[in-house]
Structure 1
Amino acid sequence: MISVRALRTLCLALLLAVFAGASIAQVSDPDRDIYAGWQELADETEKALDEPTEPNEVLSEYRKQIAAFRETFAEGRDKNAVRIRTLESQLEALGPKPEEGEEPKDIADLRQTLNAQLDELRVPQVVAEEAFNRANGLISEIDRVVRERQASQLLARGPSPLNPTHWTEAFREFKTAIVADFQNLREAAQAPQTNDVLHDSWPLLLVLSVVGLLLIVMGAHWSERLGNYLRRLGGSRHGVWSFVVSLARIILPYFGVVLICVGLLLTGLGERGAALISAIPRWSFIYLFFRWLGLQVTAEGTFDKLEFRKPYHRTETRLMVGLLGVMIVAQDAISMFQQAVPLSDATRAIIGFPPILISALVLLRIQRISIIQRQLVAEEDEDPANTSGSSRLLAGLRRVITLMALTAPVLAVFGYFNAAEAIIYPAILTLALISAFAILQRFFGNVYGWLSGKGEAAQDSLFTVLVGFGLSLVALPILALIWGARAVDLVEVWERFVAGFTVGGVQISPVSFLTFVVIFAVGYSLTKLVQGALRTNLLPKTSIDAGGQNAIVSFAGYLGVFLAALIAITGAGFDLSSLAIVAGALSVGIGFGLQTIVSNFVSGIILLIERPISKGDWIEVGGLMGYVRDISVRSTRIETFDRTDVIVPNSDLISGTVTNYTRGNTVGRVIVPVGVAYGTDTRRVEKILQQIANAHPMVLANPAPAVVFQGFGADSLDFEIRAILRDVNWVLSVKSDMNHEIAKRFTEEEIEIPFAQRDVWLRNPEVLNPPKPDPA
């Protein structure tokens, strides 16, 4: 019976038969060979996918080859793109073919030639597009099959390690495999070729072994001497060099192990021996890393909330973290042994259960110690309720790890050994990774605190937060690999991320986005430089007033930002023409929702162009009086005389009534009212006031000040001094000076300045003296 895949392949072949004969024949010979190889590979892959017993390794190899072809086809889709656009623009220039009548022969021949060239150039693109889609589909299908197999394997149930019936057979099988391995190693060591290799390379082996042993034995001492030398450069109290020394203490012994293993590989101990020796550096690195991690986690000041009140808890935590590293090494050794010598499921479960159980108990003990220490710290804390978001996140992570530590042994006991391993060991590595990155973040904070002089305060700086964010991004793919993701899956995600996404027909990718940001940042910086040059160098040398200079600088800024955005969009390759319909649909809603903002924006443009008010003007609007300090496109900042800033929307300045006391110039008028008693010689008062006005240095002589006899008031004869000042900003000071002078001169001339007097008439005054009662 024909499978669905075979039917689909047959139909696709029939549909593309004509196309393949006509189009592939038009591609070049090298491309034809590539497509022929691709067709063969695609057919083999589809057959392999139909076989349920095909190993995952074979499917992964097919996937790798298909991915290489897919990259080639992706490049082929863009082939001749520039030339195709040129031909399309030429055809657009010719216009549509007339529906009635005949087209001129020259234009018809040109149109036919351009269409033929366009069809010829489009053929490789169409072929590449079809091949790319097929490759993409095959890759997706391979990934689906592999994931389904991994899921079924993860949920597969095997024998329980606590079943005593399997113990004897498992012990015998494991013993036989160990003996066989040792026998192979002994035979390889006693082989004549091994002796020949030792005879030829013993000097190099001796040197590598001696240097390796020195690094292992003396690594800690040399690291301390390196730290003492580095501390002379400063920064010792910030913990920078202590961290470097701690890294050196694991790096030097690790290289020592590597050198010894390289020397042992020269002896030629056979395939099994080479595999074992090659694994030793990996195991030593895991153990040294966990040992370093335990020392760093329990060091003073590494974590603010992890303060060991009991010294033995610190030592116990270090031992527990190191034991976790030993369990990771044990699990890796068992997996390698399983690959070399296939074991039964029962034997695999029995020898793999102790590391799972020990790892779970160690995790629970570490979590218990952590809880005890935090309880002790909370008892001493003045505000135990004051917990940060990161503390709550870590508390949630601890609960999840505890749940995993409890679940993994239970799953192993019930036969779900693969699921237990997939939970407990990734949990350990996740904790290790988070702790290591937290230590790195603190180290970078210490370096920044040392270089900037901020000290411990640098741990709460923006730099440290950004470092933590960057480390978090780095940790994401590592965590994905820890929890079972394949490297090809991450590569696929990265390729899709680099390819970008489409929004309204606009293709946005990280490269185009970064290009936009860089070009806009450069344009914005140049705009600021031009504004600074205009404000400080060019405009002050012109006769333009301060308000005009501010308007020019503002226009230069708006124009620069607009041009920077336009050039950045063009340089990034964004085609915004496809967004025109969406923008038109949104413009109505935006117009209603942002009409006030748009009104203020337009009013700001009008203020900068017409300049009814300028920066530094003394204005009065809406009962507010003060100096204009800044005019932006949305609002204007006015500084009142009591030194407070008032933000006034630009639309109020355009549509409302505004009094500008210094528009164009600072000349203004002052009015000083004064009253004298009835009976005073009015001409004499007028003369005195005229002298006072003319004597003030701020009063202009032309036009001359005037003294006006306003009329007969209720209590006095009312006069006013009306004078034009050269600077109206001094109006209050001038008014005060004139009042002082008036009081002085009127006293000298014995002219009375009356105050209000009123006569009170009582309608019935007899109520004030009531008649006394008759004593009789």
Structure 2
Amino acid sequence: MTRAMMRQRGGAGVVGAVLRTLAMVCVLVFVLALPGAAQQAEEPDYKDWQAVAGKVEKTLTEAQTPDTELSTLRAEMVKWRNTFTNAQGVNADQIETVRGQVAALGTPPAEGEAEDPAIAKRRAELTETLASLQAPGIAAGEAASRADGLIRNIDRILRERQADKLLLLSPSPLNPVNWPAAVSLLRWTGAWIYDETIWRFTRPINWDTLRNNAPLIAVLVLVSGLLLARGGHWMGGIAGWLLGKTRMRGRYLIMGVMSLGQVLVPVMGAVLLVTALRSTSLFGPIMTRLFEMLPGLLLVVLMGWWLGQRVFPARPGDPTVLALNDERGTEGRFHAVMLGLALALHLVILNWIAPRAQDYLGGAGNIAAGKAEEIALRADAAMAVIWALLQIFAAISLFRLGQLLRRQARGQRATDDETAFRFKIFKWLGNGTILIALIAPILGWIGYISAANALIWPAISTLGVLALVATVQRFIGELYLLASQLRPSFDAADPPADGQSTAGGSLVQVLAGFVLLLVALPVLALIWGARVEDLVEVWTRFRAGVSLGGVRISPSSFVTFVAVFGIGYALTRLVQGALKSSVLPKTRIDKGGQNAIVSGLGYLGIFLATVLAITSAGIDLSSLAIVAGALSVGIGFGLQNIVSNFVSGIILLIERPISEGDWIEVGGQQGIVKSISVRSTRIETFDRTDVIIPNADFVSAQVTNWTRGNLTGRVIVKVGVAYGTDTRRVETILKEIAEAHPLVMLNPPPRVLFMGFGADSLQFEIRALLSDVNFQLSAASDMYHAIARRFAQEGIEIPFAQRDIWLRNPQALAMGAVPSRPEAAAADAPAAGTGAAVVASARPAPELMDNPETEDDSQ
């Protein structure tokens, strides 16, 4: 792909991103504008409200008010509160207009100062009008506050009653006396079902109905039997075929979706079977109610099996949503099914057997009042025994599943932070599961059946919800990678390793998991005992917003802020892109000036977008002025360097002493300016390394700009010749060499200067202006090559340094004896001036280099 194509593609990507941003912002604005389209609320009937509020307050003082009646009253109070909340905004436009008129009159005079009578009269009229306009809103606010207080009182009473139910002590299942009551309840329920069914079978009208619906019933039973018996097997075969034969991308995603059919197809068969049984008219209300529950119960059991397959895959090498190993996978799948079965039995007892116990108690209506309390106690004891047995059954599987989760956290070694965090979550989850599995049965067998049920069944449901969230998160990651064609194509013979996620680590998958957890939070709250009214109340208060320092921040104001700022930011980037690519290149402004204009426009656009967003959101920052002033002092001291660099960056963009592409030198660093940002400037050195320099250094320190204004620059080439050389001849040769170079400018012409007499040579310099100073080193190198060649042709010698070496003991060298001590050498040394003088080159002779008595007396 050529660079032009890449630039075109990158530009298209930027335009696409801007268009997507604008589309998202338009959607937000449209959603935000929906509430504003509603009509203005009518004025509430305060007389009716006073009567209703008094009735509710009187009802709350009665201790025996049923929960259903309290819930009804609460719903009515919520309607009244919504009415009053909407009425608080009445006359808002007129109030704003009158406030503007009052402000136009100016600041009221201080006490004791006179004011123009006409202005004073007009101010009094406007003040009275403003008070009358604000009166309905104030009354609505007071009524809304009263309604909110009543709602809080009702919620408090309901929560206290719910807590009392959890602490209710039932007959202990450990007492053998209570077991016959459970047997009696089950026997009575079976006898009731038998009598009801026999009576139905003896009615001729029911057989007539069966004969009339026989064809439909036969078809439904046949289809349901096939779906129940073979539907799961068929869907499993299709999923296995896709995994083993298909080579396309995303086949693991397709396999997971097809395996979900192993749950849905049998449930569809159960629905058809229930329809067939109801069409026979041979079963009474009790059995019909049980049949109606059958699809839901089957769905719970099969979902437990399906989630167990996702967490503990049956096939070796299949990906697992929690990246678990294959150790004890069979046991994990078994306990997942058992927990699903336990949850289904829990629903049967709660929705089918428990109402039968109430009917069993109601059967004592013809018995004396003294016997009714005894029958109620026996029914309570029977339900306690049944619940305790089911809790033991569920606790065993829950305990083993918690151990498996702990083993995963303990048996594997974390390779990175993400894996370590996942193992820590497994450990906490396993410890909590084990703790609940131990505590709940103990509470149940003591007699706290409600408390035990409030622990063990929400714990099982929570595990199911978390497993479902992890599964859906993985599916979303796989779908994203399939859509973006980023997932590698695995062969069936080369599946991913254990626990490997083919969608591993994508940002979309992480964000999807975060969103799914947020969606699951209300579900988990309902599972653990929260009421729907509680969640609605939380959402209402969330929409109302919170007050921070007199400023109310609500979701609507936040969305308005994001929408307006997003529009402003998108328009700023769009204008910047248009100027940089279309308008500025057609002007005579240099590249540095173009970059300064684009950057300055970006800062201005973001600032204006922020101001407009704050204004549009209705956020009044005047109440935070004092706090902001105090914070600005502390921030100023703590961030003074950042502020200094920011202001310096603005100065650089305005004065433009440096621009992108300039060759500069600052603080001992040389390089090409690549970018100028708000805080710092990035230069690329000639070693191809990036150096980040704070902008303040360019304002306060000395900066050398080699290419500012133009590219011309001077080069100095130094050379020395031997003594005795014709200096005028040397000057002529050097000038010819300088003028012959293509980069040397001839106006002004280059100059050759005789700089002086050096220690070893006559010193000359070539000083010339280059048309492009960026090639300074290469031009100097070319001149040096030319000088060496011409001097060789002309016989001009380029000298090198010479040294005089004095030998203090030439006699010792001649005799081959070297004194062992410096003192001896000094004693044998000749008098000063008698030594032999030898003139040699800078590199001494080999026989002298190893002599410890040799000294370099360089002058």
How far does residue 537 in structure 1 lie from its aligned partner after superposition?
2.4
Q: SS where residue 239 of structure 1 aligns? A: helix
Please, which of 35, 40, 52 is the counterpart of residue 41 of structure 1?
A: 52
SS in 1 for 2:450: helix
Instruction: Summarize the Cα distance change of 1:473–1:107 in structure 2 as closer, same or farther, 3 Å threshold.
Output: same
Structure 1 residues 202, 763: closer, same or farther in 2, change over 3 A?
A: closer
Within the candidate set 68, 72, 96, 1:61 is matched to 72
**Residue matched to 2:738:** 693
Counterparts of 1:177-192 in structure 2 under 5 Å? 177-180=189-192, 183=195
Indicate how the Cα distance of structure 1 residues 515 and 233 shifts in structure 2: closer, same or farther if over 3 A, else same.
farther
Q: How does 1:283-432 map to 2 (within 5 A)?
A: 283-299=297-313, 300-303=318-321, 305-309=323-327, 313=331, 316-317=334-335, 319-332=337-350, 333-338=352-357, 340-342=359-361, 343=376, 344-368=379-403, 378=412, 388-432=420-464
Query: Where in structure 2 are there 5+ consecutive unaligned residues?
Result: 1-39, 362-375, 489-500, 815-824, 830-859
Q: Please give the alpha-carbon distance, in whole angstroms, between the structure 2 residues aligned to 1:154 and 1:368.
A: 28
Task: List per-residue Cα deviations over 1:303-352 (Å, max 9, x = no partner).
Answer: 46533446863664465344334433344333443455445321221122
Distance 2:320 2:56 in 1: 53
Residues 362 and 531 of structure 1: is their aligned pair in 2 closer, same or farther, counting only changes over 3 Å? same
**After superposition, where does 1:495-510 map in structure 2 within 5 Å?**
495-510=540-555
Distance in 2, Cα, partners of 1:242 & 1:149:
48
The SS at the match of 1:642 is: coil
> Structure 1 residue aligned with 2:669, among 624, 632, 648?
624
Q: Which residue in the other structure is 2:160 paired with?
A: 148
Contact 2:41 2:90 in 1 (8 A): no
Paired with 1:224 and 1:657, the residues of 2 have a C-alpha distance of: 76
1:93 aligned residue: 104
Partner of residue 453, structure 1:
486
Specify the SS of the correspondent of 2:718: strand
How does 1:395-544 map onto structure 2 within 5 Å? 395-451=427-483, 452-455=485-488, 456-544=501-589
Q: Are the equivalent residues in 2 in contact too, given 1:618–1:627 (CA < 8 A)?
A: yes
Contact 1:290/1:325 (8 A) holds in 2: no
Distance 1:714 1:665 in 2: 39
Q: Please tell me whether residue 129 in structure 1 is matched to residue 141 in structure 2.
A: yes
Equivalent position amino acid for 1:135 in 2: A
Which one-letter code corresponds to 2:256 in the other structure?
F
Moved more, 744-753 or 225-234: 225-234
| 1:539-566 CA-partner distances (Å, limit 9, x unpaired) | 2222222211221121122122222222
Q: Does the 8 A contact of 2:312 with 2:329 survive in 1?
A: no
Matches within 5 A, 1:729-768: 729-759=774-804
- Verify the 8 A CA contact 1:698 1:726 in the aligned structure 2: yes
Higher normalized contact order (CA 8 Å, seq sep 6+, divided by chain length): 2
Q: How does 1:587-736 map to 2 (within 5 A)?
A: 587-736=632-781
2:172 aligns with one of 154, 160, 185: 160
Measure the CA separation in 1 of the matches of 2:564 and 2:41: 42
Tell me what 1:240 maps to: 253
Q: Deviations over 1:649-674 (max 9, x none)?
A: 11111111111111111111111112
Q: Cα offset for 1:56?
A: 1.3
> Which residue does 2:843 correspond to in 1?
none
How big is the shift at 1:103? 6.5
> C-alpha offsets along residues 156-207 of structure 1, whole Å, 9 cap, x if unaligned?
2221112122233443355335534654566677679878877887776666
- Structure 1 residue 75: deviation in Å? 0.5
Query: How far did residue 41 of structure 1 move?
Result: 2.5
In structure 1, what is the equivalent of residue 29 of structure 2?
none
- Picking from 213, 229, 232, the partner of 1:220 is 232
Are 1:258 and 2:276 counterparts?
no
Distance 1:259 1:133, change over 3 A: farther
1:708–1:368: structure 2 CA closer, same or farther, 3 Å change rule? closer
Matches within 5 A, 1:10-25: none
TM-score (norm 2): 0.79
**1:396-435 deviations in Å (ceiling 9; x for gaps):** 1111111111111111121111111111111111111112
Bigger CA drift: 547-556 or 286-295? 286-295
CA contact (8 A) 1:238 1:446 kept: no
Question: Amino acid of the residue matched to residue 405 of structure 1?
Answer: A
Secondary structure of the residue that 2:720 maps to in structure 1?
Answer: strand
Query: d(CA) in 1 for partners of 2:625 and 2:180?
Result: 77
Q: Secondary structure at the match of 2:763?
A: strand
Residue 62 of structure 1 and its aligned partner are, at CA, apart by: 0.9
The letter for the 2-side match of 1:281 is: P
Separation in 2, partners of 1:303, 1:260: 34
Contact 2:404/2:430 (8 A) holds in 1: no
Structure-2 change in CA distance of 1:88 and 1:279 (3 Å): same
Q: Could you tell me how far apart the structure 2 residues matched to 1:256 and 1:560 are?
A: 62
How far apart are the structure 2 equivalents of 1:480 and 1:509? 23
Change in 2 beyond 3 A, CA 1:656/1:246: same
SS of residue paired to 1:484: coil
**Aligned-pair CA distance for 1:69:** 1.1
Gaps spanning 5+ residues in structure 1: where? 1-27
Deviates more, 1:695-704 or 1:450-459: 450-459
Q: Name the CA distance, whole Å, in 1 between partners of 2:142 and 2:427.
A: 52
What is aligned with 2:839?
none
The superposition leaves residues 570-618 of structure 1 with CA deviations (integer Å, 9 ceiling, x where unpaired) of: 3333222322222111111111111111111111111111111121112
CA distance 1:198–1:47, change in 2 (3 Å): farther
C-alpha distance in 1 between matches for 2:476 and 2:332 = 24
The residue identity in structure 2 corresponding to 1:71 is: N
One-letter amino acid matched to 2:300:
I
Task: Encode CA deviations 1:729-762: one digit per residue, 9 max, x unaligned.
Answer: 1111111111111122222222222222244568
Q: RMSD of the alignment, in Å?
A: 3.5
Distance 2:49 2:216 in 1: 49
Are the counterparts in 2 of residues 360 and 406 from structure 1 also a CA contact under 8 Å? yes
* TM-aligned CA deviation for residue 459 of structure 1: 2.3
Identity of aligned residues (%): 48
Aligned partner of 1:696: which letter?
A: H
